[in-house]
């Protein structure tokens, strides 16, 4: 049963909408009652114990668009999760559609311009692996499993980051 009292696999209009939504995704969708749900809802901070109604692991931009549309159409608050590393648990909320960007992990490095374009699901470990091959590095997360997007957009705290050019262009 979901927080609304509707199991993901049950009959009814919401269940039909969820089934159609699930079939529109290249990634996967899970909800309360599914075998994968408990592992999919875990975040870095084990003290955060929130239960999104649904969790969609996106495989690309089209999945993110489907998630945004579904959340709006069904009146579900969206929770955006990149690396699952937010200490206060900002990437997950009770009764929300958790839009998990962890499956969107492309990185393009232009060593001549010393620029990297990083997709929303990448961690600092992914980033370091891609940039170090070209002898490049950027001050970033101290823990390799920290998401690049979340740290860059919402939690940059080291004093050297502004001087060294850490930024996101959206």
Domains of the chain: residue spans and CATH: 13-100 (3.30.43.10), 107-164 (no CATH)
- Would you say how long the chain is, in residues? 170
Contact assessment for residue 124 and residue 140, using Cβ atoms and an 8 Å cutoff: yes
Strands (E), 9-131: 28-31, 54-57, 78-81, 97-100, 107-110, 115-118
Q: What is the pLDDT of residues 78-100, one digit of tens each?
A: 999 887 777 778 888 999 999 99
33 CB neighbour count, 10 Å cutoff: 13
| Residue 80, beta-bridge partner list | 99
Rounded (10°) CA dihedral 145, 91, 27, 13: 160
Strand order in the sheet with 78-81: 28-31, 54-57, 97-100, 78-81
65 contacts 27 by C-beta, under 8 angstroms: no
Which of the two residues, 11 and 100, has the higher pLDDT score? 100
CA gap 4, 149 in Å, rounded: 31
pLDDT of residue 45: 82
pLDDT digits (tens, 9 = 90+) for 62-75: 999 999 999 999 99
Q: Does the structure show a pLDDT above 50 at 7?
A: no
Q: Of all residues in the chain, what percent carry a pLDDT higher than 90?
A: 57
pTM of the full predicted structure?
A: 0.80
Contact predicate 76/141, CB 8 Å = no
What letter does residue 77 receive in the DSSP assignment? Answer: P
């Amino acid at each position: 049963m979901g927080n609304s009292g509707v199991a993901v696999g049950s009959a009814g209009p919401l269940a039909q909408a969820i089934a159609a939504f699930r079939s529109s995704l290249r990634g996967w969708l899970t909800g309360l009652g599914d075998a994968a749900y408990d592992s999919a809802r875990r975040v870095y901070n084990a003290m955060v114990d929130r239960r999104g109604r649904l969790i969609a692991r996106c495989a690309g931009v089209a999945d993110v668009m489907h998630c945004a549309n579904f959340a709006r159409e069904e009146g579900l608050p969206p929770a955006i999760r990149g690396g699952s590393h937010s200490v206060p648990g900002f990437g997950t909320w009770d009764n929300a559609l958790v839009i998990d960007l962890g499956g969107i992990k492309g990185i393009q490095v232009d060593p001549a311009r010393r620029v990297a374009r990083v997709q929303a699901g990448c961690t600092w470990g992914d980033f370091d692996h891609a940039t170090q091959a070209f002898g490049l590095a950027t001050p970033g997360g101290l823990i390799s499993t920290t998401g690049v997007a979340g740290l860059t957009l919402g939690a940059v705290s080291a004093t050297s980051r502004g001087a060294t050019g850490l930024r996101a262009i959206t």
